């Protein structure tokens, strides 16, 4: 039976989380994809959607028992180009945590450098939610952000839509694709990008429409350094929220060594943080 978000965030949270805590003490997890939704800062409705509050304190209460000790806070479509929430959050989290932000195409180099000094490590292009749809803009901004601050680019899209652009995206210094590329039709495109050095977030299992075990195996076979784990909490707009059992699934499919790389080594290298 599907777990609803209300059940998860209310009394069902303890049940859902307990499913995957058996190995928490043996694991160190880098959560490469979480959202912090703090109503003290600007929230912009996207496609008619406004998310519920999910402050940093709620996030940490859910993930610390799982072994999360570092991670990346990702700007959602509903945060548009606001940087104030991200600066505040990274200031509270400190060492081991990175930021993934959204910025307009004309964002000044000096401001990119300032965000980099505060812990931002990537620029995000949210194609699926209609925030960015021009490949020329993506390529130009990704190149500039890398040149100025060493950022990689993260893309939220149905990977199938990226097929015409594989050659151009493959030439970028570093990209990462969210949520296993979202669709079965996108998996072949995703694997072409992985072969060229792309990273893939093992996240959003409750929103992606792929054969998760098969896709994880295919990516790891193509490049053992490609997969990076994330919770996707609070799983806004997903059919089901993140479950701690998703962690166990990754370990079961990949085996201990590849899972360890996915949980820790790969994301640390991608985000260039020490933890």
What pLDDT does residue 229 have?
Answer: 98
Separation of alpha carbons 271 and 121, rounded Å: 6
CATH number assigned to the domain comprising residue 44: 3.20.20.140
**Model pLDDT for residues 186-237, shown as the tens digit of each residue:** 999 999 999 999 999 999 999 999 999 999 999 999 999 999 999 999 999 9
Work out the mean pLDDT of the chain and round it to a whole number.
90
Q: What residue numbers bound the domain in which 261 lies?
A: 5-271
Would the pTM count as exceeding 0.85? Answer: yes
Q: pLDDT over 90 for what percent of the chain?
A: 85
Reading the block at residue 86, the tokens are 């991200």
Reading the block at residue 189, the tokens are 């495109």
What pLDDT does residue 242 have?
Answer: 98
Q: pLDDT over 70 for what percent of the chain?
A: 89
The answer to whether 118 and 100 are in contact (CB under 8 A) is no
> Closest Cα to residue 73, out of 53, 59, 62?
59
Q: Kindly list the distances between the CA atom of residue 64 and the CA atoms of 149, 178, 192, in Å, as whole numbers in the listed order.
A: 30, 23, 35
**Model pLDDT for residues 125-171, shown as the tens digit of each residue:** 999 877 666 899 999 999 999 999 999 999 999 999 999 999 999 99
What pLDDT does residue 16 have?
Answer: 35
Q: Kindly list the distances between the CA atom of residue 61 and the CA atoms of 68, 108, 191, in Å, as whole numbers in the listed order.
A: 10, 36, 35
Reading the block at residue 58, the tokens are 């709620």
pLDDT band, very low/low/confident/very high, at 4 (cuts 50, 70, 90): very low
Q: Looking at per-residue confidence, does 24 or 181 come out higher? A: 181
**Model pLDDT for residues 5-27, shown as the tens digit of each residue:** 333 333 233 323 334 444 555 78
How many structural domains comprise the chain?
Answer: 1
């Amino acid at each position: 039976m599907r777990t609803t978000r209300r059940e998860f965030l209310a009394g069902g949270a303890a049940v859902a989380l307990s499913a995957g805590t058996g190995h928490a003490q043996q694991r160190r997890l880098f959560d490469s994809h979480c959202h912090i939704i703090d109503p003290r800062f600007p929230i912009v409705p996207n496609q008619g959607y406004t998310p519920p509050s999910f402050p940093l304190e709620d996030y940490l209460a859910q993930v610390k028992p799982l072994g999360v000790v570092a991670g990346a806070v990702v700007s959602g479509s509903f945060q548009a180009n606001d940087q104030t929430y991200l600066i505040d959050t990274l200031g509270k989290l400190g060492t081991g945590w990175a930021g993934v932000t959204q910025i307009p195409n004309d964002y000044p180099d000096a401001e990119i450098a300032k965000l980099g000094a505060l812990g931002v490590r990537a620029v995000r292009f949210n194609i699926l939610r209609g925030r960015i749809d021009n490949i020329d803009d993506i390529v130009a901004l990704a190149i500039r952000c890398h040149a100025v601050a060493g950022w990689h680019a993260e893309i939220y899209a149905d990977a199938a839509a990226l097929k015409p652009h594989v050659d151009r995206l493959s030439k970028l210094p570093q990209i990462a694709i969210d949520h296993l590329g979202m669709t079965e039709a996108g998996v072949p495109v995703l694997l072409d990008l992985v072969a060229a050095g792309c990273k893939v977030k093992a996240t959003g299992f409750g929103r992606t429409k792929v054969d998760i075990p098969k896709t994880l195996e295919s990516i790891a076979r193509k490049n053992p350094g490609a997969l990076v784990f994330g919770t996707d909490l609070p799983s806004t707009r997903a059919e089901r929220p993140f479950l701690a059992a998703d962690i166990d699934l990754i370990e079961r499919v990949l085996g201990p060594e590849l899972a360890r790389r996915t949980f820790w080594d790969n994301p640390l290298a991608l985000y260039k943080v020490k933890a």
